[in-house]
Amino acid sequence: MGFIPMPKFLIIKPSSLGDIIHGLQVVQSLRDQLPGADITWVAGDGFAPLVEACSTTDKTLIFRRKAGVSGFFKLVQEIRAERYDAIIDMQGLARSALMTFFGRAARKLGRRDAREGASFFYDGRPSLPSGGRGSHAVEILLEFLPMLDLEAQLGSALRFQHDPEWECPWGDARPLLLFPNSRRKEKEWPYFTELVGLLFERGWAGPIAWVGQEALPVLGNWPEDRFYNLIGKTGLVELPRLIRAAKKVVSNDSGPMHLAAAMGVPLLALFGPTEPERFGPYPLDDPKHTVLKAPGGDLSQLSARAVCDVLLST
């Protein structure tokens, strides 16, 4: 029997965090169905370390957005250095479509709902799922798989390599991780501080940690050996290790929420103006995922007591 080369794929999905996690979930299914596949990913420089750490990918090409035109064409040269069986543009914008156009591949696939004229640069686009453009982002991306003669089904949980020099501050204990930040203020639940106080009042025994970038006020005499304020103290690449160690994650609609769901970690997701049916933790029917939708889509109307009650009962 002669040598059969591994199929090679280039995935273009530079940003953002939640969108990249969705793409990784779909490409994990590709890898599960084609274990010998060689997968290269184009990621923005801010997200590249996380993509590199994911076992789903073999190689990462870095899109340095601030490098301007020269940086873009340097990336194009790197893309053209290999020939792929298929290039899949999961971003669906003009810039990612140009990367697809300049690449060398037998097939160049792009999103059915592409914008900015991107669809002119593809030779194939998948159909939208039955829910159309209002479908969940993962379901839209899963439609790429039948174009590769694969099943449009979710794959195994995402796995990441960890920096052995970085240790969780609570040792081997399993913490409750709270992610209070989001890219949009209207998606941020305002009562994380009150929630911590209620949990300690009601006897929560394990460690509790805040993780994010924007500081919150610490109120009350919370136990120093059980409350950890990691706001601004961790980077993107540490998130998988923190989440993997967690007993449960509580998060707004955000990238860390999608990461926890993709890693198969128990999750309580808090939703306000966005729709869980489109943007919720995927898969939506996973029993490890609990979603609380704020009354009228206003997160200020979702009380700390209501969240605490659900958290302690699940």
If asked whether residues 210 and 128 sit together in one domain, one would say no
φ, ψ at 180 (rounded to 5°): -85, -10
If asked whether residues 18 and 122 sit together in one domain, one would say yes
Confidence of residue 5 (pLDDT cuts 50, 70, 90): low
What pLDDT score does 154 carry?
95
What pLDDT score does 311 carry?
95
What pLDDT score does 273 carry?
96
If asked whether residues 61 and 127 sit together in one domain, one would say yes
What pLDDT score does 30 carry?
98
What pLDDT score does 215 carry?
79
If asked whether residues 142 and 12 sit together in one domain, one would say yes
Confidence of residue 205 (pLDDT cuts 50, 70, 90): confident
The burial of 172, by beta-carbon neighbours within 10 Å (0-12 exposed, 13-18 middle, 19 or more buried), is given as exposed
Residue that is last in its domain, among 105, 128, 148:
148
Residue that is last in its domain, among 148, 165, 187:
148
- CATH of residue 56's domain is 3.40.50.2000
The arithmetic mean of pLDDT across residues 288-311, rounded, is: 97
The burial of 3, by beta-carbon neighbours within 10 Å (0-12 exposed, 13-18 middle, 19 or more buried), is given as exposed
**Is residue 270, in this structure, part of any structural domain at all?**
yes
Interval 109-165: pLDDT, tens: 999 999 999 999 999 999 999 999 999 999 999 999 999 999 999 999 999 998 777
Question: Who contacts 302 (Cβ-Cβ below 8 Å, separation ≥6)?
Answer: 189, 191, 270, 272, 292, 294, 295
What pLDDT score does 1 carry?
41
Question: Who contacts 174 (Cβ-Cβ below 8 Å, separation ≥6)?
Answer: 206, 245, 246, 247
Domain count, the chain: 2
Q: Could you tell me where the beta strands, DSSP code E, fall in the chain?
A: 8-12, 38-44, 59-63, 83-89, 104-110, 176-179, 208-212, 227-231, 248-252, 267-271, 289-293
Domain that holds residue 125: 8-148
**Is residue 19, in this structure, part of any structural domain at all?**
yes
**Is residue 162, in this structure, part of any structural domain at all?**
no
pTM, to two decimals: 0.94
If asked whether residues 73 and 144 sit together in one domain, one would say yes
What pLDDT score does 163 carry?
75
If asked whether residues 57 and 143 sit together in one domain, one would say yes
The arithmetic mean of pLDDT across residues 20-32, rounded, is: 98
If asked whether residues 129 and 253 sit together in one domain, one would say no
**Is residue 166, in this structure, part of any structural domain at all?**
no
Interval 31-77: pLDDT, tens: 999 999 999 999 999 999 999 999 999 999 999 999 999 999 999 99
Question: Who contacts 105 (Cβ-Cβ below 8 Å, separation ≥6)?
Answer: 10, 83, 84, 85, 86, 87
Q: Please check the confidence at residue 296 and state whether its pLDDT lies above 80.
A: yes
The arithmetic mean of pLDDT across residues 267-296, rounded, is: 96
What DSSP string runs through 223-245?
Answer: -TTTEEEEETT--GGGHHHHHHH
If asked whether residues 135 and 184 sit together in one domain, one would say no
**Is residue 1, in this structure, part of any structural domain at all?**
no
If asked whether residues 95 and 19 sit together in one domain, one would say yes
If asked whether residues 96 and 201 sit together in one domain, one would say no
If asked whether residues 220 and 269 sit together in one domain, one would say yes
pLDDT cut 90: percent of the chain above it: 88
Q: Please check the confidence at residue 3 and state whether its pLDDT lies above 50.
A: no
The arithmetic mean of pLDDT across residues 243-272, rounded, is: 97
Name the most confidently modeled range: 92-101, 159-168, 180-189, 221-230: 92-101
If asked whether residues 139 and 185 sit together in one domain, one would say no
Confidence of residue 214 (pLDDT cuts 50, 70, 90): confident
Q: Please check the confidence at residue 2 and state whether its pLDDT lies above 60.
A: no
Q: What is the arrangement of strands in the sheet containing 208-212, beginning at the earlier edge strand?
A: 227-231, 208-212, 176-179, 248-252, 267-271, 289-293
- CA gap 96, 88 in Å, rounded: 10
**Is residue 160, in this structure, part of any structural domain at all?**
no
**Is residue 157, in this structure, part of any structural domain at all?**
no
Residue that is last in its domain, among 130, 148, 166:
148
**Is residue 2, in this structure, part of any structural domain at all?**
no
CB 81 within 8 A of CB 103: no
